[in-house]
Structure 1
Amino acid sequence: MHAIFKLGQVAAVASLTLGIAHAQILIGQTVGITGSAAATVAESMQGAALYIDHVNARGGVGGQKIEVISLDDKFDPKLTLENTVTLVEQKGVIGLFMTRGTPHTQGIMPLLEQHGVPLVGPSTGAIALHQPVSKYIFNVRAPYQREVEKAITHLNTLGMRQIGVVHVDDTFGADGLAGAQAGFKANSIEALFVEKFDRAKPDYSAIAPRVAQKQPQAVIFIGTGAAVVDGIKALRTAGVTGQIVTLSNNASGGFVKALGSQARGVVVTQVFPSERSLNYPVIKEAMDLARARNQGDLTPAMVEGFVSAKVLVEGIRRAGPKPDRARLHAGLESIRKWDLGGMELSYSATDHSGLDFSDLSIIGSDGRFRR
């Protein structure tokens, strides 16, 4: 990463901080720097660094630099909790930023409540983080359930009604399945099948042949990173030829690269505007900063990191000259109809949902996401 991130493991934090010997504003992050979500995590962190480094290069917020201390939880909920304890109780962070994973984020909610620590931009669309409102969680992205419902409605308009679901057996998978069931009901469709796989040790040896036997026109695949890549390859090897749809948590260049020759034609839902859409000032802003650093093209995951970082920084700005946990919380909750660049975001004491945007993309032959 770049200047604002201290990147490390649970036991030892290896500092990669450059030029910020004594950052005044400490933000914590626990995320799967290694593990099945690593490719997407790397891109979202890169997007966040684009904006926070840009802010720090101009003196930070009120003359104070922002430092994000990132600990690797290997996409393991137990490590997520351990890392959060370290960040909150030992490192003294005033807020947490961009956790990843549904069970991971749900597992630290009691700790957020206990210490009054705001979490900005969790990289999960679990409906449980939106309803009922969690006082200390400030969502940025739309819920997964909206993504799945939209995907099924789209498939139905294309005449596809033989649709099945393959999902990870955890709270994320259950959340996505609930969205699928709502989508089926809204379109008067019955699920062709529902299959689930183990989160820790995905095994498709029995699932793939069963799915192939059903001859689905489409498969909604709910899971993360490497597990979905392996699953798609297993389905194709078993003879499944139907459309495959997965969710925005897999919207990264790393996911496309891992799929290789199986990437083309896979539909990936999105919760932010296209990374090439100059109609949105926030996208142009991110493009310009990436170009200035010779970082190449944006990816959807980078856009999520960039937008989430903008929300975090706005909350810090509104927290005043001496930001702490309570002031950061108040600052975030004061955001009303804020234009972050062609997208409007509001929070209140009764609404921490953030943006309401969902779209569909398809992976083209060039490996890019096409809208």
Structure 2
Amino acid sequence: MRNLSTAFRCLAQLLLLSVAALPAAAQIVVGQTAGFTGAVAAGVQETTAGAKLYFDAVNARGGVNGQPIRLVSLDDKFTPKLAAENARKLITEHNVIALFLNRGTPHTEAISPLLMEFRLPLVGPSTGAMVLHEPVHPYIFNVRATYQREAERAVQHLGLTGLTRIAILRTDDSFGADVAAGAVKGFTGAGLQPVMNETFNRAKPDFSALAPMVAKTNAQAVVFIGSGAAVADGTRAIRAAGSKAQIVTMSNNASGGFITQMGENARGTIVSQVFPNARSIASPLVKEAIELARAKGLDGVSPAMLEGFAAAKVLVEGLSRAGVGPTREKLLTALNGIRKYDLGGMELNYSPTDHTGLDFADLSIIGADGRFRR
């Protein structure tokens, strides 16, 4: 896993620093703002590496309708204000045709007005916030399932396994509130109530008071909603407080980097997933990604990598349908016209009234070997 994580970091660094040799006019320029440093850096690097796998393969075949794709990535340090500033810079200075694979719910909300102002699409935001699905945003095209679907599925699973004392710890932002709403649906369906439902500061998480509270409730499981670094720090605090509660977190932490952050606490942690098992070659999507990864010397792909890979496939499909010399308007029309698109064993549909994308949600557990297992 260490070799794979090192390779991800190298790919991400190359992505940020590379300058394509062909003239800019011959390229299709796509923009990305995400937290390449900060609390979500590990996951961002992996999702971007997955997207780069597919873009590189497309460019090696001659690009899209004869034009190569260039992804311009800027680091917003997981700060919504900087995400909006970066997005404006990408739109006005780099003249991108679309924004792509940004990270974070409040960050996407900060970018959203710019999409309306400049009339360009955002494809594959790395967030499953319901607010991006309902009501339909005319310029946001989701690929992955919603966080609420994940959280509901996770709580249902815990209830079915006989766990009744379940706590919620969540970041105090729109992401945390959104996921918690899905968890509450799961509690309602299972006829349960959370033994604790507390927030922590997103920017400066402090678990010195919360961890003893978890232990005092005798919680059997904790639905932990936050960035990888926060969940790792919080889990260590919970263990230090004497709690052995099952830790359950969302797909935003489905990365090899998260496993590294968790350290000795990784084993047994449940992480929801929004794509098939990253080692299952029975899935055409996974098989394609693994083959391209191995061609680059990687051992395989991570769940986070699959998310970026799938998002890149959707964007390329839209660009292909937009024709030679695509514009923002042509790409928007093309994306809205995608019907029954086979991502690789997963069907995706868009229309002007539905930008949800996929609805796949499952659970995995981190094994003793430091890998996600279903």
With the length of structure 1 as denominator, give the TM-score of the two structures.
0.96
Deviation per CA, 1:83-102, whole angstroms, max 9, x where unpaired? 01100111110100001000
Deviation per CA, 1:2-46, whole angstroms, max 9, x where unpaired? 599752xxxxxxx42254453520100000010100001111111
Which of 312, 315, 335 is the matching residue for 1:332?
A: 335
Does 2:183 align with 1:180? yes
Give the match for residue 17 of structure 1.
Answer: 19
Give the match for residue 73 of structure 1.
Answer: 76
Deviation per CA, 1:256-296, whole angstroms, max 9, x where unpaired? 01111100000000000010111111110000000111022
Give the match for residue 5 of structure 2.
Answer: none
The residue type equivalent to 2:178 in the other structure is D
Counterpart contact for 1:162–1:217, Cα < 8 Å: yes
**Identity in percent:** 57
Does 2:40 align with 1:37? yes
Which structure 2 segments of 5+ residues have no match? Answer: 1-9
CA distance in 1, matches of 2:167, 2:111: 32
Counterpart contact for 1:5–1:49, Cα < 8 Å: no
Give the match for residue 354 of structure 1.
Answer: 357
Question: Deviation of residue 131 (structure 1)?
Answer: 0.3
Counterpart contact for 1:127–1:143, Cα < 8 Å: yes
The residue type equivalent to 2:369 in the other structure is D
- The two structures, once aligned, show a CA RMSD in angstroms of 1.3
Which of 238, 251, 260 is the matching residue for 1:248?
A: 251
Give the match for residue 282 of structure 1.
Answer: 285
Give the match for residue 3 of structure 2.
Answer: none
The residue type equivalent to 1:168 in the other structure is T
State how many pairs are aligned.
364
> Do the aligned partners of residues 213 and 27 (structure 1) sit closer, same or farther apart at CA in structure 2, a change above 3 Å counting?
same
Question: Deviation of residue 324 (structure 1)?
Answer: 0.9
Does 2:301 align with 1:298? yes
Give the match for residue 348 of structure 2.
Answer: 345
Which of 217, 225, 235 is the matching residue for 2:228?
A: 225
Does 2:278 align with 1:261? no
Which structure 1 segments of 5+ residues have no match? Answer: 8-14
Secondary structure at the counterpart of residue 117 of structure 2: helix
CA distance in 2, matches of 1:33, 1:142: 23
Counterpart contact for 1:29–1:68, Cα < 8 Å: yes
| 1:101-120 equivalence runs, <5 A | 101-120=104-123
CA distance in 2, matches of 1:6, 1:327: 27
Counterpart contact for 1:2–1:18, Cα < 8 Å: no
Give the match for residue 134 of structure 1.
Answer: 137
Counterpart contact for 2:293–2:299, Cα < 8 Å: yes
CA distance in 1, matches of 2:236, 2:19: 39
The residue type equivalent to 1:79 in the other structure is L
CA distance in 2, matches of 1:187, 1:3: 42
Secondary structure at the counterpart of residue 140 of structure 1: coil
CA distance in 1, matches of 2:298, 2:354: 35
Give the match for residue 10 of structure 1.
Answer: none
> Do the aligned partners of residues 151 and 3 (structure 1) sit closer, same or farther apart at CA in structure 2, a change above 3 Å counting?
closer
> Do the aligned partners of residues 256 and 262 (structure 1) sit closer, same or farther apart at CA in structure 2, a change above 3 Å counting?
same
The residue type equivalent to 1:146 in the other structure is R
Give the match for residue 7 of structure 2.
Answer: none
Counterpart contact for 2:20–2:70, Cα < 8 Å: no
> Do the aligned partners of residues 2 and 36 (structure 1) sit closer, same or farther apart at CA in structure 2, a change above 3 Å counting?
closer
CA distance in 1, matches of 2:50, 2:75: 18
| 1:83-94 equivalence runs, <5 A | 83-94=86-97
The residue type equivalent to 1:272 in the other structure is F
The residue type equivalent to 2:140 in the other structure is I
> Do the aligned partners of residues 20 and 216 (structure 1) sit closer, same or farther apart at CA in structure 2, a change above 3 Å counting?
farther
Select the structure that is richer in helix. 2
Does 2:67 align with 1:52? no
> Do the aligned partners of residues 96 and 255 (structure 1) sit closer, same or farther apart at CA in structure 2, a change above 3 Å counting?
same
Give the match for residue 4 of structure 2.
Answer: none
**Deviating more after overlay: 19-28 vs 134-143:** 19-28
CA distance in 2, matches of 1:215, 1:2: 43
Does 2:156 align with 1:153? yes
CA distance in 2, matches of 1:4, 1:241: 38
The residue type equivalent to 1:114 in the other structure is E
Give the match for residue 369 of structure 1.
Answer: 372
Counterpart contact for 1:3–1:17, Cα < 8 Å: no
Counterpart contact for 1:101–1:124, Cα < 8 Å: yes
